[in-house]
Structure 1
Amino acid sequence: MADLKDYSLLFLIVLTSIFLLRTMLSRNGRTHRLPPSPLRLPIIGHLHLFGPIPHQTFHKLSTIYGPLIHIYIGSVPYVIASSAEIAKEFLKTNELSFSSRPQTAAVHYITYGSADFSFAPYGPYWKFMKKLCMSELLGGRTLEQLEHVRREEIHWFLHSLLVKSNKGEGLVDLHTELIRLANNVITRMAMNRRCSELDNDAEQIRELVEDIVELVGKFNLSDFIWFCKNLDLQGFRKRFEDAHAKYDRMIEKIIKEHEEARKSSKDEIGGDASGDHEVKDILHILLDISEDDDAEMRLSRKNIKAFILNIFIAGTDTSAITIEWALAELINNQPILEKAREEIDKVVGKNRLVEETDIPNLPYLQAIVKETLRLHPTAPLTMRESNKDCNIGGYHIPAKTRLFVNIWAIGRDPKHWENPLEFNPDRFIGIELSKLDMRGQHFQFIPFGSGRRGCPGTTLALQVVQTALATVIQCFDLKIGDGANMKVDMTEAAGATLTKAHPLICTLIARPELSPLMIN
């Protein structure tokens, strides 16, 4: 009888506890209403809903639950913004609440942790580096001084394609050629080295950066499952540490070579070797700033190494991938390709190659790049983390919630784009859409992000992409297979960047009247 009473008392306590808990949750739900969310499973959260390509998964969920949803990746809370209106609330109205980026294990181990500009917390160091980027490192004066590097590398790229075309080598892997072009532009601008068999260090850095990009894009259980935080179940930690150590050795060697060259230059002229007459690479500028006693903040060696790595990661694959998607779309839409070539022939002629200074006079080419970035943004998701509670779209977003803005889905939203899946550069020629820029002011079109954390290398990326694309259009005919109604496969690959599942491989036919211009 006593046992029965004990069980009855226990049952009453449990029942009362459940009632009180439900009441508290109900009240909390009315006060702090979270965005809609699919069914969540213990431990893994919503991972059971994920496909191989996250931005596509998030887009599908948004069609069911709306433009703002709340999910858990493992035990980590996220919100997903899939419309221009919601993105604006996060990235503009509440920008200060979402001005930081979360650090994963890969970022911590590979990119020098808090020394890394891209993932540094929003604060004095980040503000200092952002100001340096806009005024010195990636500012107009530096880009103008290094314009000859971009021009020379594009000419080398065209010459390489011409050689392959003249040899009748058949199919050319444009993906590989474009990656090589982008890498050479970045390595020369960053540290005056060229990726080739003649510079083994630069070539090794190129290969290492490819490995790092792949590692950063891997799903690491330790980042998302709370009881796996201190475990290395997938063996990534050792790979992170090895990649970091390898990069550190190579970049340290290059920095020392720069320092020795700077010292020799100073000794030769008996003073400062940083005169305005000298064209400096980005590493040289960083070393100047690190030695400036009057600088607002002193850059450490780790800061310099992390920034150079950022330049490589952000500036190589991204530019090449955008050009590849653009060429694939043009091959599939020959009338658009012909219209672009007519514009180039009319503005530039056939007696010289397109230069960066021609781009403002080629509005249709600019429209092609815009349309490519609308449909195929290189970074389909941009990520932030909240530093305090806030309200978005009538919902409560707690502090430490991570944010994904689905740039890919926003660019395909039929609410803002007529026939959104159609590749149609003419949409950017009209009076209204021609005013849309790519720098984050118009939230239906934010391929480079928006606000304080928007991409600081937008100007450089557009210079490389637009000029390289224009020269290929100007100089070559491109065909797939036998050229008879053959289409490029536009399937997307899984990964942190929006790459094609199948590299663009095609036949190049040089335009005879322009071949002599590609020889020199």
Structure 2
Amino acid sequence: MAFILFLLLVFLFPIVITFLYQWNEHNTKKARYPPGPRGLPLIGNLHQFDSQKPHQFLHELSKKHGPVMSMKLGSVPLIVISSEKVAKEAFNAHDIVISNRPNLTGQKKLSYNGQDIAFSAYNDYWREMRKIAVIHLFSLKQVNSFSPIRRDEVFHMIEDVSKKADKFEPINLSETLISLSSSIICRSAFGKSYRETSSVKRSFDELVHEVQAILVGLFCADYFPLLGWMDKVTGMASRLEKCLENLDHFYQELIDEHISTNRPQSMEGDILDILIKLKEGNTSSFDISWEHIKAMLMNIFIGGTDTSSATTTWAMTALVKTPLAMRRVQQEIRNVVGKKPLVDEDDIQKLPYFKAVIKEAMRLYPSSPILPRETTECCVLGGYEIEPKTFIYFNLWAIGRDPEYWENPNEFLPDRFLNSPIDYKGQDFGLIPFGFGRRGCPGMNLGVAVVELALANLLYAFDWELPLGMTEEDVNTDSLPGLAVHKKDPLCLMAKRYI
């Protein structure tokens, strides 16, 4: 027993010394550091942190401590930004300084040591990969080339909903829209059918769920570096390794099919095909490896499926809870489209109120409500000094409800965007669902195209009602945990054909 106590003392001594040093250092800088909730020794505010709904939890704390709030996650300092004014200041004065991403264990591993775009450090490599994404993968020309895929998949979605509507069956729109987004991504990125191949659907869905869980999972190594070995004890390390192994196998199968001489015609011109041609052509400033390609596939695989379906579901949720807005947007769409079988992407450009509905849904329910960054140098935000290696959380959910920027911020009012220059492209800091500055999402055009076409056709083709006995108040807006936030309870509605 004495020997065990001796070992514990030897082990705990450096931790206690480190803690006392950091605690003292924090207290000396308290005067110029942002206010925040008081934490505990060693763990900081981790015991208070709500990982299920961090955006709402942080929003409530910011009402007490202010729009620039400090916290401590273990040994990691965290600053939370909850106002449009400070977010704008961060971009205008410190965009380069806050262009890093937190170097977290799960994200680093699944991105092949940061060889992607989303989780890579801000450096020359990241700039080159982003250039590839912007010019070759997500240019307007490339997004438009996938238009037939989007139209075809939306057509099949409308057919499936019509069959259930004719049988008076409730429609699980959450499930329907996830399936649609997965189908579009599978065909656009991988040249494979999600709908027609059960094995593809099953492996795709299982991987998406597991990756989401890993990316928001808690690894001791991230917040307590000296206790990184605990990840092996808890099983998180082996779970991460298994997830990467499954992902790598999935990517490798896709690559092998694409480089095969007998590959299907559907793979010609998809995103993976473009990446392989860039690798073979060696047109970048560095040699593109298979790991670079796999890391990029991870971003497309996760970002492309979850965010579009979540945004469309939240838009339908908001409209169901606001029947007047629902009727108004349906009337606008039907007046423009007439009696065509589907809404075309060209029609959408003639629908100002519909566009306003999407912006308002993104304001109230951003699919990725927390935008994480990390400082590379000392900077000043909101009058407070922020040190290097500090995590910065831009709470987009709170910024979208900032009462200093938005009138009636908690109400769903699409009219606020009519005849307004405010857009979601990263220049208006009250509405930044795709981020801003250098690290703004390069796949924005593709994501918006999917949301617009799916939502417009659902509103055009059907009249929507709540199941018998339900009212608008019964439709809750609770969310599930994840990088992309989905509605906790599936949105189940009754549909009646319009066409």
TM-score by length of 2: 0.90
* Structure 2 equivalent of residue 396 of structure 1: 385
- After superposition, residues 493-512 of structure 1 pair within 5 angstroms as 493-511=480-498
Tell me how far apart the structure 2 counterparts of residues 67 and 428 of structure 1 sit (CA, whole Å): 24
Tell me how far apart the structure 2 counterparts of residues 97 and 358 of structure 1 sit (CA, whole Å): 41
- After superposition, residues 139-218 of structure 1 pair within 5 angstroms as 139-168=139-168, 170-198=169-197, 200-201=199-200, 203-218=202-217
Deviation, structure 1 residue 252: 0.6
Per-residue displacement from partner, 1:295-326 (whole Å, max 9, x unpaired)? 32321100101111110110111111111111
* Structure 1 equivalent of residue 227 of structure 2: 228
Tell me how far apart the structure 1 counterparts of residues 83 and 283 of structure 2 sit (CA, whole Å): 45
Mean Cα deviation higher: 128-137 or 488-497: 488-497
* Structure 2 equivalent of residue 100 of structure 1: 100
Partner SS, residue 114 of structure 1: coil
Contact kept, 8 Å, 2:77 with 2:391, in 1: the verdict is yes
* Structure 2 equivalent of residue 133 of structure 1: 133
1:414 to 2:413 alignment: no
Mean Cα deviation higher: 382-391 or 255-264: 255-264
* Structure 2 equivalent of residue 258 of structure 1: 258
* Structure 1 equivalent of residue 69 of structure 2: 69
- After superposition, residues 19-30 of structure 1 pair within 5 angstroms as 29=29
Amino acid at match of 1:237: A
Tell me how far apart the structure 2 counterparts of residues 295 and 73 of structure 1 sit (CA, whole Å): 39
Contact kept, 8 Å, 1:187 with 1:202, in 2: the verdict is no
Partner SS, residue 316 of structure 1: helix
Deviation, structure 1 residue 346: 1.2
Amino acid at match of 2:481: A
Judged with a 3 Å threshold, the aligned counterparts in structure 2 of structure 1 residues 25 and 183 are, in CA distance, closer, same or farther, namely closer
Tell me how far apart the structure 2 counterparts of residues 41 and 475 of structure 1 sit (CA, whole Å): 55
* Structure 2 equivalent of residue 460 of structure 1: 446
1:293 to 2:282 alignment: yes
Identity value in percent: 35
Tell me how far apart the structure 2 counterparts of residues 129 and 403 of structure 1 sit (CA, whole Å): 23
Amino acid at match of 1:489: N
Indicate which of 414, 435, 438 corresponds to 2:421: 435
Contact kept, 8 Å, 1:205 with 1:247, in 2: the verdict is no
- After superposition, residues 326-341 of structure 1 pair within 5 angstroms as 326-341=315-330
Deviation, structure 1 residue 356: 1.1
Contact kept, 8 Å, 1:46 with 1:71, in 2: the verdict is yes
Per-residue displacement from partner, 1:212-252 (whole Å, max 9, x unpaired)? 11221223333212332232143111111111111111211
Deviation, structure 1 residue 483: 6.3
Tell me how far apart the structure 2 counterparts of residues 464 and 437 of structure 1 sit (CA, whole Å): 17
Tell me how far apart the structure 1 counterparts of residues 478 and 316 of structure 2 sit (CA, whole Å): 14
Judged with a 3 Å threshold, the aligned counterparts in structure 2 of structure 1 residues 495 and 257 are, in CA distance, closer, same or farther, namely closer
Deviation, structure 1 residue 262: 8.1
* Matched pairs, number: 473
Judged with a 3 Å threshold, the aligned counterparts in structure 2 of structure 1 residues 261 and 395 are, in CA distance, closer, same or farther, namely same
Partner SS, residue 361 of structure 1: coil
* Structure 1 equivalent of residue 341 of structure 2: 352
Tell me how far apart the structure 2 counterparts of residues 207 and 467 of structure 1 sit (CA, whole Å): 26
Contact kept, 8 Å, 2:400 with 2:431, in 1: the verdict is yes
Contact kept, 8 Å, 2:329 with 2:353, in 1: the verdict is yes
Per-residue displacement from partner, 1:235-292 (whole Å, max 9, x unpaired)? 1111111111111112111101111148999xxxxxxxxxxxx950000000011111
Contact kept, 8 Å, 1:328 with 1:504, in 2: the verdict is yes
* Structure 1 equivalent of residue 295 of structure 2: 306
Contact kept, 8 Å, 1:98 with 1:384, in 2: the verdict is yes
* Structure 2 equivalent of residue 490 of structure 1: 477
Amino acid at match of 2:460: Q
**Which structure's CA Rg is the greater one?**
1
* Structure 2 equivalent of residue 426 of structure 1: 415
Per-residue displacement from partner, 1:171-225 (whole Å, max 9, x unpaired)? 2211111100000000100011121352624541232122111221223333212
Tell me how far apart the structure 2 counterparts of residues 27 and 164 of structure 1 sit (CA, whole Å): 62
Judged with a 3 Å threshold, the aligned counterparts in structure 2 of structure 1 residues 226 and 200 are, in CA distance, closer, same or farther, namely same
Amino acid at match of 1:439: K
* Structure 2 equivalent of residue 46 of structure 1: 45
Partner SS, residue 349 of structure 2: helix
Per-residue displacement from partner, 1:474-506 (whole Å, max 9, x unpaired)? 011122122664442222333332221211012
Tell me how far apart the structure 2 counterparts of residues 193 and 26 of structure 1 sit (CA, whole Å): 53
Tell me how far apart the structure 2 counterparts of residues 105 and 454 of structure 1 sit (CA, whole Å): 22
Amino acid at match of 1:205: F
Judged with a 3 Å threshold, the aligned counterparts in structure 2 of structure 1 residues 387 and 484 are, in CA distance, closer, same or farther, namely closer
Mean Cα deviation higher: 481-490 or 442-451: 481-490
Deviation, structure 1 residue 28: 5.2
Tell me how far apart the structure 2 counterparts of residues 459 and 219 of structure 1 sit (CA, whole Å): 32
Contact kept, 8 Å, 1:197 with 1:203, in 2: the verdict is no
Tell me how far apart the structure 1 counterparts of residues 193 and 428 of structure 2 sit (CA, whole Å): 37
Judged with a 3 Å threshold, the aligned counterparts in structure 2 of structure 1 residues 70 and 437 are, in CA distance, closer, same or farther, namely same
* Structure 2 equivalent of residue 364 of structure 1: 353
Unmatched 5+ stretches in structure 1: 1-20, 266-277, 515-520
* Structure 1 equivalent of residue 123 of structure 2: 123
Judged with a 3 Å threshold, the aligned counterparts in structure 2 of structure 1 residues 45 and 474 are, in CA distance, closer, same or farther, namely same
* Structure 2 equivalent of residue 57 of structure 1: 57
Task: Please list every run of at least 4 consecutive aligned residues from structure 1 whose deviation after the TM superposition is greater than 3 angstroms.
Answer: 24-30, 261-265, 483-487
Contact kept, 8 Å, 1:201 with 1:250, in 2: the verdict is no
Amino acid at match of 1:476: F
Per-residue displacement from partner, 1:385-425 (whole Å, max 9, x unpaired)? 11111222221111111110011001001111111111110
Per-residue displacement from partner, 1:62-91 (whole Å, max 9, x unpaired)? 111111111101111111111111112223
Partner SS, residue 435 of structure 1: coil
